[in-house]
Amino acid sequence: MIVKKERKRPIIVLIICGVVLFYFSLRVMTAVENNGGKFELDLLDEVFHKLYFINTPVSLTQKNILMSLFITFIAFMIYECIRLQNKKNLQENTYGSAEWQNRSVLDKKKSKKFSDNIILTKTEQISKNMKVSGMNRHLLMVGRPGTGKSRYFFKPNILNATGSLVITDPKGELLRDCGTSLKKRGYDIKVLNLDKKSLSNHYNPFMYIRKVRKTISTKELNEFTEQEVTSIKEDDVMILINCIMKNTKSDLIDSQTGDPFWEKCEMLYLQSLFYYVLEEYKDIPQKQNFSTILELIRYSTPDKNGNTKLEDLFNKFKDDYGSNHIAYMQYQHFKVSSASQKMMSTIIMTATARLSCFNIQEVSELVDTDDIELDRIGMPIAQDKLKKVNSQSPKKSKHGKVAYFIITKPSDNTFNFIATLLYTQIFQTIDENAERCAKGLDSGLELATPLDMYLDEFAQLGEIPLFQEELAYVRGLNVGIVICLQSLAQLKKMYKDTWETILDCCDTTLFLGSNSKETLEYFVTLLGKKTWYKKSSGRTFARQGSSSQNWDVVGRELATIDELAKLKKGYCILFIANIGAFYSQLYNLKEHPRYKTLYEPWDSQTRDNEYQHDPNVTGSDEASENIQFQLEMMGLPLIKTLPMLTVNEMTKAEESYLKHGGGITIHQLKS
């Protein structure tokens, strides 16, 4: 699109120029007349330097006036001839105006401090501060395997981290290579390892169902009283169940059955169980987990008389909490929808099969307790600001200098839905923490500490509910998300109707190479066309031979499909919204100021920096920090030193503190 506005010149300017020229000519003719009718060039110079002397007499003879008018008319005709020949010319942009951009156009979008920038290429960086860059921090990266996504982009930016991090790490490579560097800079590292579950932190989705405070009215002795109560955020439960069902359904069943009846009934059944567990065990957090859900499902088995233990539990629940509680209502709806015993058994069997993976001991241990601390995302790092935020909120969190690594198994996606659950609740936590920070710090609605999410192998995560809406929303909450794909086909498969909306939410796109025709065609179109001059020549061989040369304009793509397919390794094409495309070399990892803190097995300088995460053994300093933080939040006395503790010992220690009111000894702790 070429927008070229022509400025209209006012007629008064032309008239003034004509009058001045006429007056000048008249003065020259008067000087010639005074010189005896002889014209000399010196007269022009003399008249020009004395032109501003208005009181100089002029000779208004017929000859002088006519000659001055003639000269003015000739000058006007010359001007018109030049103006009429100067037509609007779009020859250089006839077929397109695409151009490769120069790195200097980003100078105003960079921060002076290197660590405050997002490293895009060797020559292009933009500020993490959206007020400086004028752009959101979302980025789409497309590159086939082996194009260097980890080495050239993820590792440099992890080394450049300044806030909270969430990193999808399918091979565990980023954790191994960057973990030591992050630890040296004061980061706490949390890992959800779905490949080697024994080396994972624990993640219990029930712990991140949000709480809301509301005022209810009660009538006693004909008087209404109001009291403030805390209850679960009911829609969080529905989102959690919806996410489980979307990411555990069979493609075969989905393609062969079009009746949503069974799925809706199963959702009602699971909702009733989830709400029951969250309400009934609100004072016993260790019972709020999938093991309890599976136990309740086993209570659904009828006895000889057709009665079930689950029915008795819900009847007692109604007596305690009333028939209007959502858990009881959903259970009644489930019973109505499953009219026959056979139908009910089928629905229960389907729900059991869906959650059967939580019967595996390793998986059960992974999700029954929680120490991954998602509530730290985006919280202030400075202790004074953190105390302000915690003082204004019932929930208490530690500082936001934390890195979460999600390790999935590329060859088996059976348990990847747990990672999808984690990401779903991360987005909920972002919203909640942004509100907490805004209230505690009296600032705008955003996280106090910037959050960067690196979603490597995005297609393995499954479908995150309302991802495109979340992507558009969190951009203003101090969040930047990097979506990494091998081709656009992966995005289209997961988000059939909204994949283009996801692309629109990313102000930056990084292309490292692809063999997919569809992907290549998209980026060729995105690059656009450029108008080029083409020289053609011809020669005839005859008795009187001749030759000719012609110049013409032609249109050509800035890069063709075959050229993009042969993109050299170590190079990329960078697209930035409202600016254009850059052809650049990728960042050289060895040039990073913190390179020596990285682990690279072939480099003797970095060989000792390998990081291995084992949450089951906690150093004394971290153990002390974790327990003392909990004690401080509960108002219990602190201890000065702690021995080396395992996670299980730490849990027992916290329970002992609660039981004894803080008055226990180190000996009791160890026992």
Per the domain annotation, does 93 fall within a domain? no
Q: Which of 575, 609, 643 is the last residue of a domain?
A: 609
Domain-embedded: residue 84: yes
Residue 37: inside a domain = yes
- Write the DSSP assignment of 546-591 as a string of letters: EEEEEEEEEEEESS-HHHHHTPPTTEEEEEETTTEEEEEEPP-GGG
Q: From residue 245, give the alpha-carbon distance in Å to each of 266, 273, 295, 333, 413.
A: 9, 15, 19, 19, 15
Residue 653: C-alpha distances to residues 123, 417, 662 (Å): 53, 33, 10
Confirm if 267 and 301 have CB atoms less than 8 A apart. no
Number of C-beta neighbours around residue 164 at 10 A: 28
Decide if 1 is inside a domain: no
**What pLDDT does 647 receive?**
44
User: Do 409 and 532 belong to one domain?
Assistant: yes
Residues 387 and 394: their CA atoms lie apart, in Å, by 12
Q: Which two tokens stand for residue 395?
A: 């929930």
Helices (H), 209-308: 234-246, 251-256, 261-280, 290-298
Nearest CA among 17, 19, 48 for reference residue 31: 48
Q: Are residues 109 and 83 part of one domain?
A: no
Q: Are residues 41 and 125 in the same domain?
A: no
Q: Largest Cα–Cα distance in the chain?
A: 139
Count of structural domains, the chain: 4
Residues 123 and 74 in one domain: no
Please indicate, yes or no, whether residues 598 and 630 belong to a single structural domain of this protein: no
The number of helices, as runs of H, and strands, as runs of E, in the chain is 25, 17
Q: Which residues contact 403 (CB under 8 A, 6 or more apart)?
A: 158, 161, 164, 165, 166, 167, 182, 187, 188, 189, 190
Choose among 250, 252, 262: nearest CA to 345: 262
Residue 97 located in a structural domain:
no
Range of the domain at 248: 208-352
pLDDT of residue 274: 95
| CA–CA separation, 256 and 261 (whole Å) | 14
Q: Distance between CA atoms of 312 and 126, rounded to whole angstroms?
A: 61
How many angstroms separate the CA atoms of 286 and 204, rounded? 10
Instruction: Please indicate, yes or no, if residue 364 is contained in any of the structural domains.
Output: no
Do 181 and 325 lie in a common domain? no
Same-domain status, 107 and 74? no
Beta bridge partner(s), residue 537: 549
DSSP at 511: E
Residue 216's DSSP bridge partners are: 227
d(CA 641, CA 208): 31
Domain check: are 60 and 196 in the same one?
Answer: no
Regarding whether 493 and 384 lie in a shared domain, the answer is yes
Together in a domain, 490 and 582: yes
Q: Are the C-beta atoms of 164 and 403 separated by less than 8 Å? A: yes
In this structure, which amino acid lies at residue 145?
P
Q: Tell me the C-alpha distance between 506 and 480, whole Å.
A: 10
Q: Are residues 392 and 277 in the same domain?
A: no
595: Cβ contacts below 8 Å, ≥ 6 apart: 159, 589, 606
Residue 360 belongs to some domain of the structure: no
Please report, to the nearest 10 degrees, the dihedral formed by the alpha carbons of residues 662, 664, 665, 667 taken in order.
Answer: -130
Predicted confidence at residue 2, as pLDDT, reads 52
CATH number at residue 460: 3.40.50.300
**b/e sequence 610-626, b meaning 16+ C-beta within 10 Å:** ebebebeebeeeebbeb
Contact 330, 395 (CB under 8 A): no
Residue 230 shares a structural domain with residue 289: yes
Q: According to the model, what pLDDT value does residue 669 have? A: 42
Say if residues 140 and 485 touch (Cβ distance below 8 Å): yes
Domain edge (last residue) among 56, 88, 120: 88
pLDDT, averaged per 10 consecutive residues of the chain (671 residues), comes to 59 86 84 77 75 75 87 89 72 78 91 92 93 92 92 94 94 93 94 92 93 64 60 88 84 52 88 94 92 93 82 93 92 83 86 90 93 94 93 89 92 87 93 93 91 91 86 92 93 88 93 92 90 80 78 84 91 92 93 93 87 72 53 50 46 47 41 38
Q: Whole-angstrom Cα distance, residue 318 to residue 310?
A: 12
Note whether 470 and 239 are within 8 A (CB). Answer: no
Stated length of the chain = 671
- Predicted pLDDT of residue 226: 57
DSSP sequence for 44-55: HHHHHHTTT-TT
Which residue in 642, 635, 645, 647 sits closest to 665, CA to CA?
642
Domain membership flag for residue 291: yes
Q: Which residues pair with 4 in a beta bridge?
A: none
